[in-house]
């Protein structure tokens, strides 16, 4: 199921052949993706959108986004097998991710 959702959200942007250099918890490893511009990431739901996302599970992929692995590892939760993170967000620029969290 997760591979299909990753493909639906990221399409050909994901390079599934790239593996993460260290072991990840199983609940995260199944959502691992790799994007040329973002590096190693986990496909997640942002805390601010989780209520909307779970209201209509057929549209949950509309709310999923790749977040760098290092950012996710700091603090995450899992609900119904989906990874949820609360990352700083700006209405002008979107997610605020430290540059040092991006791994290529």
What is the rounded average pLDDT of the residues 4-16?
Answer: 93
Q: Give CA–CA dist 18/51, Å, rounded.
A: 32
Q: Kindly indicate the confidence band of residue 78, based on its pLDDT and cuts at 50, 70 and 90.
A: very high
Q: Give CA–CA dist 32/2, Å, rounded.
A: 10
Token pair of 19, please? 């593996």
Q: What is the pTM of this model?
A: 0.93
Q: What is the mean pLDDT of the chain?
A: 94
Range of the domain at 83: 2-101
20-68: per-residue pLDDT in tens? 999 999 999 999 999 998 999 999 999 999 999 999 878 899 999 999 9
Q: Quote the number of domains for the chain.
A: 1
Which pLDDT belongs to residue 1?
A: 79
Residue 89: other Cβ atoms inside 10 A: 13
List the Cα angle 10/16/17 in 5-degree steps: 155
> Where are the extended beta strands (E) located within 1-104?
32-35, 39-46, 64-68, 77-79, 82-85, 89-90, 94-95
CA dihedral sign of residues 26, 78, 56, 31: negative
């Amino acid at each position: 199921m997760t591979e299909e959702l990753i493909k639906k959200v990221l399409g050909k942007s994901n390079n599934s052949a790239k593996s993460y250099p260290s072991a990840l918890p199983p609940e995260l490893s199944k959502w691992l993706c790799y994007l040329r511009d973002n590096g190693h990431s986990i496909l997640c739901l942002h805390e601010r959108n989780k209520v909307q996302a779970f209201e209509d599970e057929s549209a949950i992929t509309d709310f999923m986004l790749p977040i760098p692995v290092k950012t996710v590892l700091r603090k995450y939760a899992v609900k119904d097998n989906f990874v949820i993170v609360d990352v700083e967000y700006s209405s002008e620029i979107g997610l605020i991710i430290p540059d040092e969290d991006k791994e290529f």
